[in-house]
Amino acid sequence: MRRIILFCLLVISFGTSWKAIARQLIRDSIQIQGYMRHFSLIIPENTPKDAPLVFVAHGYGNSGKTKTWMDKAADKYKFALCVPIGLKDPGKNKHSWNVGYPSQQGWDVDDVKSMCKMALYVQKKYHLSKVNTFFTGMSNGGEMCYLLAYSGQRVFKAFASVSGLTMEWIYRTMDAPFPVPIFEIHGTADHTSEWDGDLENKGGWGAYMPTPIGIGYWVARNKCETISQETVASLQPESNRTIEKYRYSGGPTGCDVWLYKVVNGPHSWFDKDLDTGEEIWQFFSKYVK
């Protein structure tokens, strides 16, 4: 295990409380299941002890970038960001999360266990909340949101997928043991993770479900009874895009399901169309204790 502190940190301790005076960017690693797993940890200025922790998972083939769609929200609301790096898959040698793509067949990496163990390590070592830990990811990272949600883990409380999808094998073979809050932001003109799904695997990523069906599973699983809907314009009026916001609630456990349908939206994290980080934090904050 190693840690490299890239920015100076001044910490003032008074009993069990502490106050971070300068923004921190920390690079650390932990060995899990025989693999060294690397991550960056961003702790905004003046973040309190036991602050919430949000994992931010990159898309396929990306790694090491510490600028994310959650940065502004983290600075504003004072929660920490953990940006893990996926291992390289055996088929294409790309940094990724093992969700069962054809290029990942036979890969023995269990990213569900790895992310849970990493979260427990980060919570303890950096004095962050053990109960207010969340997970968001883009594209392949979004698929990790669904795999974690279906798995029955209890480390992450809620999930927000951006341009992610539910793999058909997950939908067909797994059943979530309990309700989980889920949020999806997805574009109808996404030609990488098609809104209408790809059950015939024409894109080569493996078969995956249409977005409405993937979300519909969670609406039913969470026993949501009410729906609110509104349509807003993109922050870029010239884009001719709108965002249809569907919010399902009223279930017995309070686990809501949100779906933001970005009409004519591409494969992206939609920072030009809405304040993605703000929207995701508003969803996560419903479950902060």
Q: For the chain (length 289 residues), average pLDDT per consecutive 10?
A: 39 36 89 97 97 98 90 98 97 97 95 98 98 98 98 98 98 98 98 98 97 98 98 95 98 98 97 97 98
Give the integer Cα–Cα distance in Å for 193 and 144: 14
Asked if residues 111 and 136 have their Cβ atoms less than 8 Å apart, the reply is no
Amino acid 23: pLDDT: 86
pLDDT for 22 equals 77
> What pLDDT shows up at residue 11?
36
Sign, Cα dihedral of 284, 71, 151, 204? positive
CA distances to 88, 151, 157, 251, 283 from 176, rounded to whole Å, are: 28, 6, 14, 15, 20
The three-point CA angle 21-83-2 to 5° equals: 75
Q: What share of the chain is helix, strand, coil (3-state, %, to 5)?
A: 25, 30, 45
pLDDT at 201: 97
What's the pLDDT at 63? 87
What pLDDT, on the 0 to 100 scale, is given for residue 264? 97
The candidate with the shortest Cα–Cα distance to 117, out of 238, 36, 7, is 36
Beta bridge partners of 245: 230, 260
Segment 154-175, tens digit of pLDDT = 999 999 999 999 999 999 999 9
DSSP 180: -
pLDDT of residue 2: 42
